[in-house]
Amino acid sequence: MQITMLGTGSAFAKKYYNNNALIEAGGCRLLVDCGITLPTALHKAGIEFGDLDGALISHMHGDHVGGLEEYAFQMLFKHGRKPLLYIADTLVEPLWEQTLRGGLTQGDLTSLEDFFVVKPLVPGQDYTIAPDLKVKLIQTKHIPNKDSYSFLFNDCFFYSADMRFNKELIMQLVEEGVTTIYHDCQLEPPGVVHATLDELLTLPKDIQDKVWLMHYGDAMENYRGRTGPMRIVEQGKSYSV
């Protein structure tokens, strides 16, 4: 499995694109979230929407879903097909009614299914996306009263959505076999709805060895050498997991 971070920035970062990824495995190219800057990030990477097999969505914030309107329109009118959309079953209706309906509705196109092949996922269950790519959604806390889901790939790679610090969950995942963790990180406190660097530094050192930091702000360069054993995911680079 290979992961390329098309963007590594927080919602307010200006130097870095939205924290969105491309996972490639088993001949599948899957977007992990599709934020506002995703179309530009893809363009600069030399990738067209038509080169992708689908998208996996974590939650409803613009830096994670703001590029879906362009994705839908490009696929329909330029590539002539509907892409796969993997999303928690609890988010299907909110995505359409609260985010995409106003921009996408036209003529007879009046539903999410008119633009995407929607694949609702039940949290806690394993789903095979491709021969060598399996995913399970884990509900994690972010904004009160808004569902948000992190992802466990192939039982060994945990990719956080935006989430508050949950030491117990991280330690449990490692006990169950997770070897690599990509975790969103608010470098400068207070975190409020994100894990902070100070919180992540309280993890045992052997677990910090498995952690890569993403979804950081524009001050990231000031924190090099200050993250303990945890490494920083670099925008645009590809990593094998």
- Does the pLDDT of residue 193 top 90, yes or no? yes
pLDDT of 96 higher than 90: yes
pLDDT per residue as tens digits for the range 146-167: 999 999 999 999 999 999 999 9
Q: Does 188 have pLDDT greater than 90?
A: no
The per-residue pLDDT for range 62-85, each reduced to its tens digit, is 999 999 999 999 999 999 999 999
- pLDDT at position 142: 97
The 3-state DSSP class for residue 174 equals helix
Distance CA 56, CA 42 (A): 16
Looking at residue 110, its pLDDT comes to 98
Instruction: Give dist(CA 233, CA 11) in Å, integer.
Output: 16
Which structural domains are found in the chain, ordered by start?
2-233 (3.60.15.10)
The pLDDT score that the predictor gives to residue 189 is 85
Do residues 60 and 73 make contact, with C-beta atoms less than 8 angstroms apart?
Answer: no
Query: How far apart (Å, rounded) are the C-alpha atoms in residues 34 and 21?
Result: 8
Question: What pTM value is reported for the model?
Answer: 0.97
Can you tell me the mean pLDDT for 28-50?
97
Mean pLDDT of 199-213: 98
74 burial (CB, 10 Å; 0-12 / 13-18 / 19+) is middle
Percent of residues, the chain, with pLDDT higher than 90: 98
> Can you tell me which residue has the tokens 């200050």?
226
> Looking at residue 20, what is its pLDDT?
98
In the predicted structure, residue 107 carries a pLDDT above the cut 90: yes
